[in-house]
Amino acid sequence: MEQKPIKVLIIDDSAMVRKIFAEELSKDPQIEVVGTAPDPFVERDKIVQLKPDVITLDIEMPRMDGLTFLSKLMKHHPMPVVVVSSLARDGGEVALKALELGALEVLAKPGASYSVKDMSEQLIAKIKAVARVNPLKRVTGGPTAPSKAVTYANFKTTQQIIAIGASTGGTEAIKEILTRLPANMPPILIVQHMPQHFTKAFANRLNQHCALEVKEAEPDELLTTGKALIAPGNKHMVLKRSGTNYYVEIKDGPLVFHQRPSVEVLFSSVAKYAGQNAVGVILTGMGKDGASGLLEMKQAGAFTIAQDEASSVVYGMPKEAVALGAVMVTLPLLQIPQFLIKQIPG
């Protein structure tokens, strides 16, 4: 039976943006743009009338800002929302607030370093990712114990690297993991699909609540115990090694699985330079980004973990990794921190 197209309603105060979004989204046969609105007041009636599956929402609009509208929407008529915001440097905090209020994804509007083509590919992918998701689903720990016995041995190392990749639902999942880790953890490298500037706000927010030092990665930054680095939005992050020192390279490059930063790029570099001294973790998110890279890590001797379906907002990336045979153990989200802690040499 053929699946019905995903009905999308676009809210943005810019007529030009509404026109571009509608044109680009309509190119995909699986998406139907059922309407547009210049602000939430117009939108309220259209939601009831058009019954969209997904809303794309600008944050800064006249009469009622996007955050106020989002809060009311999730209280009275919850549905999947993709926030599409400008690349303003102060937009990161607002975007994080939108995710906390219930938005499932955040995307940057096209800009000098972010083309309409790039935006369109990612917006279409994100709409498809969230269309069938319950917007009220939150991070959960799942069962209190793994369904199968887990061995916490055989991959301890004195030079360990932990690599984590996530997409849809990942901001909350990463927060749940990092806030439960002590300050003496091995270096942690993280790719979360987020736009430029937003990743810095995300890292700063995490740093306020974690025992670890959490920051947006800088070019050629050395990895040290107790430090977690977030890949900058719109840049790939790769692990490098010089003698006994690990460091990260931040670089441009094509989108990989429609993403920059890409989990695949990070995981492949960790497989190459850290090998058996690494642990790979793939979390909630749509698509295949990171699945093959996690397999490379496993084949290089790393230990690999996937978040389970019950605790994932979108069981896409972990599912693909499991299907490839890249995953050694699948765990509920809130068991992952304790599992990682058990690997600290000592």
Q: What is the pLDDT of residue 7?
A: 96
For the chain, list the domains and their CATH numbers: 6-130 (3.40.50.2300), 161-341 (3.40.50.180)
Average pLDDT over residues 95-103: 87
137 pLDDT above the threshold of 90: no
CA distance linking residue 197 with residue 219, whole number of Å: 15
Average pLDDT over residues 291-306: 97
Q: What is the pLDDT of residue 134?
A: 77
Note whether 162 and 281 are within 8 A (CB).
yes
Note whether 221 and 240 are within 8 A (CB).
no
CA distance linking residue 63 with residue 65, whole number of Å: 7
Q: What is the pLDDT of residue 313?
A: 92
Q: How many CB atoms lie within 10 A of CB 165?
A: 33
Note whether 230 and 214 are within 8 A (CB).
yes
78 pLDDT above the threshold of 70: yes
Residue 162 tokens read as: 């932990």
Q: What is the pLDDT of residue 61?
A: 65
Please, what is the average pLDDT of the chain?
86
Give the closest residue to 20 by CA, choosing from 116, 118, 115.
116
Please tell me what DSSP assigns to residue 148: S
pLDDT class for 145, splitting at 50, 70, 90? very low
CA distance linking residue 295 with residue 327, whole number of Å: 7
**What confidence tens digit (pLDDT) does each residue in 175-205 have?**
999 999 999 999 999 999 988 888 999 999 9
CA distance linking residue 75 with residue 80, whole number of Å: 13
Catalytic residues: 167, 193, 289
65 pLDDT above the threshold of 80: no
158 pLDDT above the threshold of 70: no
Note whether 62 and 34 are within 8 A (CB).
no
> Helix count (H) and strand count (E) of the chain?
11, 15
**Exposed / middle / buried, residue 148 (Cβ in 10 Å: 0-12, 13-18, 19+):** exposed
292 pLDDT above the threshold of 70: yes
pLDDT class for 289, splitting at 50, 70, 90? very high
Note whether 105 and 82 are within 8 A (CB).
yes
Can you tell me whether residue 9 is helix, strand or coil?
A: strand
pLDDT class for 151, splitting at 50, 70, 90? very low
- Whether omega before 38 lies within 30 degrees of 0, making that bond cis, reads no
